[in-house]
Structure 1
Amino acid sequence: MPEDLCAERPLFGGAIVSTFPLRFQDVSNIRQVPDHQEVFVDPARDESLIFELLDLKTDVADQGSATWFLQDLANEQDAEGTMVLEQSGVFEADGLRCRSSPAIITTAVGQMAISKGRQGREAQNIVKVYLANLRLKDVATDVLITAYEPMLINPLSETAATVGAGLPVPAAQSGCLPMADVFKSAVTSFKVNDWSLFGAVA
């Protein structure tokens, strides 16, 4: 088992908690992050984990909602060659409920070519994206948990300077928890401590 220390991390001022490796640093310590997001990154591997709170998209069906958000993300990031590699069915998270309805969870995994920041298409990296949509209907919120794992680093990407171009070193070889497991841990340990974050009275 890789020596990758995990800990429960406070999100949104501690109103939410989730468990994932300590190597993921809080980006808000470096730059401004929108209030509805919590962004964590491991700069040594260019892997990132993002928690996002959105208004519930009532026009998106539960079945396949994660895939819808994955495609939406790809459009937003001007991605190319987006492929959905897998998608889950609909699960109910009984332990995650504000009032009567348990959270509805769907997940999807995709692959896309995206550039960093303001870099152009010539600097695109091939990235695997894991996305979970936790639908908290009692508080009209779609929670997105998104994990990014670079599969191929473009030599022109700004990432190449720190991580190196080409294929990244496999996580296990680096003593790190593979991104699929980081994602799984973040999703399964996601817990709301204070529902008033959503303006709801629990």
Structure 2
Amino acid sequence: MDTQRVAGNADESPLFGGALTAFIPHSATDVSDLREIPDNQEVFAHAHTDQSLIVELLEYQAHVADQDAARHHFEDTAGSNDASEPNAFEVTSVVPLSKSELCLSDCSSAWMLTGTQCVSKFNEEAKNTVTLRLGVFRLPQFSTDILITFNDPQSIDPGSSSAASAGTRGEPWTGQDFQRLLQTLTLHTPGLFG
């Protein structure tokens, strides 16, 4: 993908004050307009579904091999989601992303993982089955891993606070939307990483 062609695209949204840009799909609400979000995250929720996208700047995991980075972050996310007990999470695929198709081609490697987790929202008892797609961009020169997570609920427990949005699906985000976000992620200000 040609960086020059994509970088000025009107479909792209500024992230972290414009230090990064990427395609954010239709019907996205910036969650920071609704509640406080950590400084190392940009979080978007679908306006009509329970889907969400998170762009996170994380410390580079030097002890983790590139091909294991996505699985490492997926398992860390499972722990944060209280989904780390047996049968609560599963990895279905991990594939490398071709740097020739990425705007952020100065990463040492990039990976996409697809898996599922059984998670509850807001520490509720009810658990929802969520497909997670993770994109990991490894930037050792900046001591940073960029993690992009697409949460796509597949089965919502009737007792979950998410149940209200389950019937108002609207047009959901797709795997292609997520792929486009990964491909268009562009770094404009390396000072973002300190």
Q: Is this a same-fold pair by TM over 0.5?
A: yes
CA deviations over 1:171-192 (Å, ceiling 9, x no partner): xxx44442x1121011110001
Q: How many residues align?
A: 181
Pairing 1:66–2:66 present: no
For the structure 1 residues 125 and 13, does the alpha-carbon distance in structure 2 shift closer, same or farther, using more than 3 Å as the test?
same
Pairing 1:198–2:193 present: yes
TM-superposed CA distance for 1:71, in Å, is 1.1
SS, match of residue 115 in structure 2: strand
In structure 1, the partner of 2:180 is 185
Which of the numbers 85, 90, 98 marks the counterpart of 2:92?
85
CA distance in 1, matches of 2:38, 2:177: 23
For the structure 1 residues 12 and 70, does the alpha-carbon distance in structure 2 shift closer, same or farther, using more than 3 Å as the test?
same
SS, match of residue 67 in structure 2: coil
State the TM-score, normalized to the length of structure 2. 0.86
Identity between Structure 1 and Structure 2 (%): 34
Which of the numbers 94, 109, 115 marks the counterpart of 2:114?
109
CA distance in 1, matches of 2:20, 2:137: 13
CA contact (8 A) 1:96 1:103 kept: no
TM-superposed CA distance for 1:66, in Å, is 0.5
CA distance in 2, matches of 1:151, 1:95: 30
SS, match of residue 22 in structure 2: strand
TM-superposed CA distance for 1:95, in Å, is 4.5
CA deviations over 1:30-83 (Å, ceiling 9, x no partner): 000000000000141100000000111111110121111111111111115201
The code of the aligned residue for 1:73 comes to: T
Matching of residues 31-70 of structure 1 within 5 Å: 31-70=35-74
CA contact (8 A) 1:64 1:89 kept: no
For the structure 1 residues 140 and 128, does the alpha-carbon distance in structure 2 shift closer, same or farther, using more than 3 Å as the test?
same
For the structure 1 residues 46 and 104, does the alpha-carbon distance in structure 2 shift closer, same or farther, using more than 3 Å as the test?
same
TM-superposed CA distance for 1:13, in Å, is 0.4
In structure 1, the partner of 2:137 is 134
For the structure 1 residues 32 and 7, does the alpha-carbon distance in structure 2 shift closer, same or farther, using more than 3 Å as the test?
same
CA contact (8 A) 1:126 1:153 kept: yes
In structure 1, the partner of 2:4 is none
Q: Hey, which of these two has a bigger chunk of strand by percent?
A: 1
The code of the aligned residue for 1:85 comes to: T
**Larger RCO: 1 or 2 (CA < 8 Å, sep 6+):** 2
TM-superposed CA distance for 1:90, in Å, is 6.2
CA-based RMSD of the aligned residues comes to 1.9
CA distance in 1, matches of 2:53, 2:43: 6
Segments of structure 1 that go 5 or more residues without pairing to the other structure are 1-5
Segments of structure 2 that go 5 or more residues without pairing to the other structure are 1-9
The code of the aligned residue for 2:179 comes to: K
Matching of residues 160-175 of structure 1 within 5 Å: 160-164=163-167, 174-175=170-171
For the structure 1 residues 177 and 40, does the alpha-carbon distance in structure 2 shift closer, same or farther, using more than 3 Å as the test?
closer
SS, match of residue 96 in structure 1: coil
CA distance in 2, matches of 1:23, 1:13: 20
